[in-house]
Structure 1
Amino acid sequence: MLRVVRLVLAVAITAAAALGVIRLTTPADGGIPRQLAFLRAELESGAAEDAQELFPEGYFFLHALYGLTAVDMGDLSSARWALSHLESDTARAPFAGEMQLQYGVFYRGWVNWLRGGIAALSRDPADLRALEEESAAIAAAFDASPTPYLASYPGQAWPVDSTVAIASLRLHDKLLTPAYDVTVIRWLANVEARLDPATQLIPHTVDPDTGEPTSGAQGTSQSLINRFLPEIDAELAQAQYTRFRTWFLAAPLGLGPTVREYPVGFDGPANVDSGPLVLGTSLSATVVTIGAARLNGDRSLATALSQFGEVAGLPFSTPWTKRYALGAAPIGDAFLAWSKSARPWVAAASSPEAEPPSRFISHWWRLPLLMLFLAIGLTPWLTRAALRRRKVADSAAA
């Protein structure tokens, strides 16, 4: 019986190692409809309310990311369902307070971006009219502001939130009569005048009155900013993405590409957005960077991050659903689905030939992990063989 148990354990360990090799070397873009099915079931079971207890935008983000992924997949019904929840009192509740833009630019920007995606799919006059009205209100707030970064909460401003709102104006101008080119050009000039001095990247937080940086660039916001900048301005997007890659891309212990929360050479504490930091790496920033890489035409990095995620994320699939980390954190599944489905809504899709050679991730990045899986897979059998040889030697000596 003991020999049978050992044999079963050896087979299981080798099979797990073989599965790791398969996940590391095969395309990782599939399974998004099954991820959406899992997320819908979780949302209907109260996952958004549970996420709200963990961080201030939990309810909002879980519905928003579900809806945005649905747009990417062409699922208009699911996208409308998500928007209806975002336009509820429950979703708006965390964003109360006196601000130039009611409910703040975080709420208004993300909702308008989803609204624009729905309008792009439906071409329904009512959807287009809602996009036009909301875009006018957002643009008016930017035009009246002395800073390019509107408040997300009273007295608090994050540049990433304004970036999403500006992208929604670009989407408006693609779908309807262009109206906000001047607003966007002015915003771009003001952004470039207020970059983080250390990295020349868009900062993480700013003074809400002046727009001047109050903290340097961080991975969680940079990954989102670089997801949206290509929709706004190709030149700024290229410059910022190149710097982001230089300052934040890392491979701790040589085991795979990841994204740091703080720039190379800098360290800081974990926060509610970054999650726990492992050797300086932020899981959330790494996941969102899959989408940023796809939007910036960086296919080799997007592929590498996705394949590494299939190993580290411990996915579990059924014929109907797919979840990561056993579904313990649906907000993580939502970010991953949104990142893997990423496609441009405003900018032209880049061709494979357009990817600069300097961005290529070497295929050799997999080698340390492949060697690790090989060692894990062979260890039970080598151990069995060694024990057998010892037993034979002991028998001969006796």
Structure 2
Amino acid sequence: MKYFKFILIAFITLIILRINLKLHSENYSKQEVENDIVLQLNFLEDELKSHDLAGRMQQIFPEGNVFINALYGLSWCELALASPGNTKLTNKALNEALFAYNSIDSDKTRLTFPNYLNPENGIFYDGWRNYLLSKILLLKTSFENKEKYLAQYKTQSNLIATALEESKTPYLQSYAGHSWPADMFVAMASLSHYQKVFDETYAPLIKRWLTEVKNNLDTKTGLIPHKVDFQSAHTIEGARGCSIGLILRMLGEIDYGFAEDQFKIADSLFIETTFGLPSMREYPVGEFGLGDIDSGPVIFGVGFSGTIVMIGTLAMYGEANLAEQQYKTIHAFGFDKVRNDQKKYLFGILPMADAFIAWGRATMLNYYQNVKHNKGSWYFSFHLYSLLFCLLIWLLLFRKRLVHFYKTANKVGN
């Protein structure tokens, strides 16, 4: 038992040492970061095309198929948009994003969602499908079958807009009787791109929608709520970390002024440090709650899903330096493995996390000029906490010997 305790504590110490060292990862140049993201996407590509990743994620998450494909396609889009002069990268991104879109826009995927809602299949499905398509259309001025995809974008945008005009509230249903505002923001971000692809047809609708959103904020926090009553827009569940990060990510593309106001509130209620490292609370300051399928595990108040999503969101709001710190923290705890031109986290057990990380990092590249490369001492507090913790567990292991040594020393002294 004594040797088992020694081996266990030595193992824990080595893990803590590894985490501390990984905080000093050196992907400082834009090209290095781009290459590293490609390694992540190579892993996801292999899993999607050869190991039924979409099917596996669907067994774990209610929207796993759509989410993993959408995030994969969007990661490629953001990566290419950050390097517009790289033709080879843009072509690869276009092909992979279209692969992801076609996987979502399939009868097999649609069967997962109810077909009797307005819009058909619900705003989660229609929103993410249209958002990915809008990003694809922004990649290149022309490509094979682009006219077909332009026509689909027009049709899908019109379905979303029509459903919203017929709704009494700003939030459409994701599933029968259930409405999560984050899904609506994805859909509206897809409409906001319409003016870049075609014209400002939906500008008045978006303006009216934003007014309704502002009139139905969570009264406790002043933020956009996590879940609402689809018939009245009244808050069912207030703002949460797992959704507000995504909402801010999309709102920044719809109305940056309103988004900045929301970000300032979220910053004061959700963004903090835990043991000296940047993190995202799952519940606002003063509230306690448990984790669920949306948030993932909640440990010391930190929501893992929200923390990962914030990588890209922080960069959008002028906090690219903090965004990089956030990534380095996730990287340190993610136990990454690079092999055969692929990079995966957590030994590849949960690729959904890999997809969110890749999307956040690719988004951050679009704001890379603001990154200060984190060469300061932001990680010093965590190093200190780690040292104290390691000292404590080793002292506990050898406490009997230390007590014996102390008593012996006293006898000799006397």
Q: TM-score, normalised to structure 2's length?
A: 0.81
Work out whether 1:156 is the aligned partner of 2:161.
no
Cα–Cα, structure 1 residues 214 and 363, in superposed 2: closer, same or farther, change >3 Å?
A: farther
**Which residue of structure 2 aligns with residue 183 of structure 1?**
205
- Indicate the larger mover: 329-338 or 47-56: 47-56
CA distance in 2, matches of 1:300, 1:272: 29
**Which residue of structure 2 aligns with residue 237 of structure 1?**
259
Work out whether 1:308 is the aligned partner of 2:329.
yes
**Structure 1 stretches lacking a partner, 5+ long:** 1-5, 356-360, 391-396
Q: Name the aligned partner's letter for residue 185 of structure 1.
A: K
Q: Name the aligned partner's letter for residue 279 of structure 1.
A: F
SS at match of 2:102: helix
Q: How far off is 1:222 after superposition?
A: 0.5
**Which residue of structure 2 aligns with residue 334 of structure 1?**
355
Work out whether 1:296 is the aligned partner of 2:301.
no
Residues 195-233 of structure 1: CA deviation (Å, up to 9, x unaligned): 001100000111111112111101111010011111000
**Which residue of structure 2 aligns with residue 85 of structure 1?**
103
Cα–Cα, structure 1 residues 319 and 21, in superposed 2: closer, same or farther, change >3 Å?
A: farther
Cα–Cα, structure 1 residues 26 and 285, in superposed 2: closer, same or farther, change >3 Å?
A: same
- Indicate the larger mover: 312-321 or 221-230: 312-321
Cα–Cα, structure 1 residues 131 and 216, in superposed 2: closer, same or farther, change >3 Å?
A: same
Q: Name the aligned partner's letter for residue 246 of structure 2.
A: L
Cα–Cα, structure 1 residues 73 and 197, in superposed 2: closer, same or farther, change >3 Å?
A: same
Q: Name the aligned partner's letter for residue 321 of structure 2.
A: S
Work out whether 1:262 is the aligned partner of 2:272.
no
**Which residue of structure 1 aligns with residue 24 of structure 2?**
25
**Which residue of structure 2 aligns with residue 144 of structure 1?**
166
Cα–Cα, structure 1 residues 101 and 300, in superposed 2: closer, same or farther, change >3 Å?
A: same
Cα–Cα, structure 1 residues 73 and 367, in superposed 2: closer, same or farther, change >3 Å?
A: same
SS at match of 2:347: helix
1:367-386 matches, cutoff 5 A? 367-371=380-384
Cα–Cα, structure 1 residues 139 and 245, in superposed 2: closer, same or farther, change >3 Å?
A: same
- Indicate the larger mover: 200-209 or 113-122: 113-122
Cα–Cα, structure 1 residues 141 and 258, in superposed 2: closer, same or farther, change >3 Å?
A: same
CA distance in 2, matches of 1:313, 1:153: 33
**Which residue of structure 1 aligns with residue 137 of structure 2?**
119
**Which residue of structure 1 aligns with residue 56 of structure 2?**
50
Work out whether 1:282 is the aligned partner of 2:287.
no
1:149-228 matches, cutoff 5 A? 149-228=171-250
| Correspondence for 1:321 among 316, 326, 342 | 342
SS at match of 1:94: coil
CA distance in 2, matches of 1:293, 1:58: 25
CA distance in 1, matches of 2:38, 2:390: 32
CA distance in 1, matches of 2:157, 2:365: 19
- Indicate the larger mover: 136-145 or 229-238: 136-145
Q: Name the aligned partner's letter for residue 321 of structure 1.
A: Q
Work out whether 1:71 is the aligned partner of 2:70.
no
Cα–Cα, structure 1 residues 42 and 267, in superposed 2: closer, same or farther, change >3 Å?
A: same
**Which residue of structure 2 aligns with residue 249 of structure 1?**
271
**Structure 2 stretches lacking a partner, 5+ long:** 1-5, 28-32, 81-92, 406-411
Q: Name the aligned partner's letter for residue 23 of structure 2.
A: L
**Which residue of structure 2 aligns with residue 394 of structure 1?**
none
**Sequence identity (%):** 34
- Indicate the larger mover: 42-51 or 207-216: 42-51
SS at match of 1:182: helix
Q: Name the aligned partner's letter for residue 256 of structure 2.
A: A
Cα–Cα, structure 1 residues 213 and 13, in superposed 2: closer, same or farther, change >3 Å?
A: closer
Q: TM-score, normalised to structure 1's length?
A: 0.84
CA distance in 2, matches of 1:13, 1:268: 28
CA distance in 1, matches of 2:207, 2:46: 42
CA distance in 1, matches of 2:20, 2:157: 47
- Whether the aligned pair in 2 keeps the contact of 1:14 and 1:376 (CA below 8 Å) is no
CA distance in 2, matches of 1:27, 1:181: 43
Q: How far off is 1:98 after superposition?
A: 2.1
- Whether the aligned pair in 1 keeps the contact of 2:123 and 2:187 (CA below 8 Å) is yes
- Report how many aligned residue pairs link the two structures: 373
Cα–Cα, structure 1 residues 122 and 90, in superposed 2: closer, same or farther, change >3 Å?
A: same
Q: How far off is 1:127 after superposition?
A: 2.5
Q: How far off is 1:335 after superposition?
A: 0.9
CA distance in 1, matches of 2:179, 2:14: 49
- Whether the aligned pair in 2 keeps the contact of 1:101 and 1:141 (CA below 8 Å) is yes
Residues 288-337 of structure 1: CA deviation (Å, up to 9, x unaligned): 01111122221122011111111111111125110111111011111111
Q: How far off is 1:49 after superposition?
A: 1.2
CA distance in 2, matches of 1:208, 1:226: 21
- Whether the aligned pair in 2 keeps the contact of 1:231 and 1:344 (CA below 8 Å) is no
- RMSD of aligned residue pairs (Cα, Å): 3.2
Q: Name the aligned partner's letter for residue 63 of structure 2.
A: E
- Indicate the larger mover: 220-229 or 94-103: 94-103
- Whether the aligned pair in 1 keeps the contact of 2:173 and 2:180 (CA below 8 Å) is yes
1:342-361 matches, cutoff 5 A? 342=363, 352=370
